[in-house]
Structure 1
Amino acid sequence: MASVITNLSDKRRQKQWKFERGILRHLSIKGLKKHVEQHFRPIMPFQFLVNPFLLDPIMDLAIDAYLIGAEFSRICYLGETDEEVKLRCQLELQELSHSLFHILYGWFDTKGGSNEESLSILSDTFVDYWWERGLQEGKKRYRMKLH
């Protein structure tokens, strides 16, 4: 008789992957792409038309923010408010926002009258938007006992 030995970290990782796959099923790539283009087009119209490869890293950061929100939704399910939960993951969200800012900064059009502060604000609101969507989707899954 053969015994299978698994450790706790492998089990946790498998459970995390299963949860993420379930959450990501509700995310539309077309909708995500459309939101990225609409969100950043006011300050970067030409760059998105000429360099569509910028969409991929931005979409990756949006997915990361979405997954962080979904992961932290468990804490809301256990009784904390959305604001308290956001404080818990503020460092991760700031890192995503800074990464997004630095990705876009090289392509940023300063001649159009925009400044760096507007790019920073757009980066923050973009990450917050996707974190909130992930949080709401995760809370819905926990209410429905789909976790």
Structure 2
Amino acid sequence: MKKAIRSKYSRPVGLVIILGTLLSLGFSFPHNVVPWLLGDTSYANMGQEEWVDGLYRGFQYMLTLIVVYGFLTVIPSNPLKVSEIGERTLYVYLFHGFIIKSLEITVLDKNLFNISGQYHLLIILSFVICLILGSYVTKKYTRPLVELKI
């Protein structure tokens, strides 16, 4: 697997996969696709009861594996400044819900609906949340809550 990810042409192929995915989803993201992406809803509850729908789910899984391959090819082997934030992903994972729920409560429903269609803005907001929650300051002040001494 490591040879496939670190081969000579893997990084350009991975970049094409990632950029192609971002562009295609940015311009033609289907509506009501969340149950399909999460994979936690039965076909009957999604209004799909044909045998072909299982093939669609299998195709989705195959595309997911291709995108994962593209993602793994662009991850650097050498430590970078961003790697420090990556070491603190537990803090991002644990605390991002508080920020999202606070925004959901404070922003009016009609504004929330308008914002939800702005995928570029959502990507930027996600990046900012990750930078804030992955910072050293967040770890410093929340470490007693997250890493309990037993």
Q: Same fold (TM over 0.5)?
A: no
Q: TM-score, normalised by structure 2?
A: 0.30
Structure ranking higher on relative contact order (CA contacts 8 Å, 6+ apart): 1
